Structure 1
C-alpha cells in the first residue's frame, strides 16, 4: 500500500491536533492538560503518527519538546487543513444564512480606526449577524498572521513589499496630512509650509517604522531634516495628545478624515511625496470565505466613494 493511501485511511484530524498542541505547549504533559487527556495517550498518538509516516516528528530534550524538520512540515500542512475545514464550516453557515459568518482581518492601527472601521460600519448595517475579528497591529505581524492563516486578509497601506505567496489589490492611493488640535493658533495661519513648522512640537511614528519612512520622505522632499520628536509613539497616544492642541503630527489622510473635527483639524499643506497605495493582501491559492469576499467587495465600494 502506498504511503499516501495508508495515511488517508489511518490519519485522523485529532492526531494532527495533538501534534500541534504538543509543540505549542512544549511538552506532552502540558499538551495532555490542554486537551483533557492523559500523557500516555498523547505519547501513544505521537508514536503512532511517527510510525505511520516513517519519520521522527519530535525531538525530546531537557528543555522540552521541539518539532523536527519533518514535524514542522506536518504542522505547516496541518494548519492549512484546519483552516480549510474552518473555511468550509464558515461557507456552509454563510450559504445557510447570508447575513451570518465571520471575517478575520489583520490591519494597522491607522487603517483600523479609519477605513476598516467605516467598512465594518456599512457592512454590519446590512448583515447584522456578520462578525468581525480584527487584529490591529503593524504590517509585519499582520502579514505573519496571514501566512499562518490566523486571518483571512490584511488591509492597509502597502508601504512594504509583500512575499511571492501573497497577492495585493490596490483600492486607492492616499497622502499623509499634518494634523493638530482644534484650538491651536496654527489653524489661523495661511500659506503654511513644512519649513514653517520645523520647530513645532512634533509627534512622530516609532523610529524605523514604515510610517516614519513616509514622514521622513515628506520633509526630505522639501530639503529638510526630520524634526525633533517630542513624542514617538503609535497612533493612539499621538491622537490623544492632539486634543491638547500643543502638538502636531503627520498621519494618513483617511485617519484625519475619520477624526472628530471638534478635536483634530488638518493643516492646509500638500504633501505629494507621501502618496502611498492602500489595499487588500490575501494569500495566493487560498480560497476566500464568502464573508471575507463580501468584506473586500464592500471595501472596493467604499474606496470608489472615497475617490
Structure 2
C-alpha cells in the first residue's frame, strides 16, 4: 500500500461532510476532476469502494466509514504531534486555533483574545466562526485546539470549562401585542410568548434546538413566519414586523439603534453557558495552557 497521504485523507473527510465533489473541490480551491481522480486512485490502490456515487452526490460506503475513521485518527495524531513539539520550545511562539460560535465572538471572547495577544505576542491566533456542531467536529478531527460553544451538546469526549454565562432574551417590535406585557428589567415567561409567530434562526444552531426542545416540553409547537441564517438578519426582520425573535444576551448589542422591546425569559433553562472545550486525549500546548488559564481566571459567574 502507498504511504498515507494527508491531503487525500482531508479530501475524504471533506467529501464525507459535504456529500458533494463540487463543494469539496470549491472548499479546497481545486478542480472537481482532481478530487475525483484522487479518490478513484485511492480506491484502486485499496481495492475497495469508499463512496456510493449518485446524481444527488456521494455517500460513504461501510468500507468508506472505516477508512474515514482511520483518517480522523491519523490526522488527530499529526495535530497532536505538532502540539507536543510546541512544548519543546520556549513557549514564546506557537499557535492557537479556535473554533467558535457567533455567540462567543459577540461576547467577551474578543477582549479576552486581545489580552492574550498582549501577553503572548509570539502566538499566532486563528479563529474559525461556525456552528457548535461543526466546531466540535473540527475539535474532534484535530482542526482546532479549542472550541467555544453553547452547552446543549454531547461533551462526553471533551474536557470542558465554563466560559461565559448567557440568558435567552425575547425581542418584539414596540407595536406588537406582546410589547405591552414586557416591563423594564422584568423577565417574561416562555408560555406568554409561545402563541406568537417568531422569526426563526438557522435550523442547526444551538439556540433553535434549545427553543424547539422547550416548546415540545410545553406541548406547543413554535410558529415561524420565516427563518433567517444570522442574528443581524433576525433583528432586522423582527424590526420589520415579521414576528418576535430570540437572542442570547451576548448578542444584545445588535439592538443598538433599534426601538425593539426586549426582556429575558424567566425559565431556568433559559440561563445557559458558553463552554470552552478541548479533546481529552489532546496534549496541552503552551498556547492552550495559557489560554485556558486566562479564560478561567477572567470568568465571572452570574449571580
Shift of residue 149 of structure 1? 0.5
- SS for the counterpart of 1:225 is coil
2:154 counterpart SS class: coil
Matched, 1:231 2:226: yes
Q: Is 1:170 aligned to residue 166 of structure 2?
A: no
Per-residue Cα deviation, 1:54-95 (whole angstroms, up to 9, x for no partner): xx586699979x995785565344313321333245445xx4
Secondary structure of the residue aligned to 1:119 is helix
Q: Would you say how many aligned residue pairs link Structure 1 and Structure 2?
A: 272
TM-superposed CA distance for 1:255, in Å, is 2.3
- 2:266 is matched with 270
Q: Which one of 94, 111, 114 corresponds to residue 104 of structure 2?
A: 111
**RMSD (Å) for aligned C-alpha atoms:** 4.6
1:179 aligns with 2:179: no
Which residue of the other structure, out of 133, 158, 166, is the alignment partner of 1:140? 133
Cα separation, partners in 2 of 1:184 and 1:23, compared to 1, 3 Å? closer
Q: For residues 80 and 269 of structure 1, what CA distance do their matches in structure 2 show?
A: 40
Where structure 2 has 5 or more consecutive residues not aligned to the other structure, the ranges are: 16-20, 22-32
Q: CA deviation at 1:268?
A: 5.6
**Quick check: 149-158 or 274-283, which moved more?**
274-283
Contact kept in structure 1, 2:166 and 2:248, CA below 8 Å: yes
TM-score by length of 1: 0.65
CA deviation vs aligned residue, 1:214-240 (integer Å, no higher than 9, x gap): 22465678x683442223233342144
**2:91–2:286 Cα contact (<8 Å) kept:** no
Which residue of 1 is the match for residue 114 of structure 2? 121
Change (3 A) 1:15 1:301: same
Rg larger in 1 or in 2?
1
User: Deviation per CA, 1:1-21, whole angstroms, max 9, x where unpaired?
Assistant: xxxxxxxxxx99x75447637
Candidates 201, 207, 224, aligned match of 1:205: 201
- Is it true that 1:79 corresponds to 2:68 in the alignment? no
Question: TM-score normalized by structure 2?
Answer: 0.66
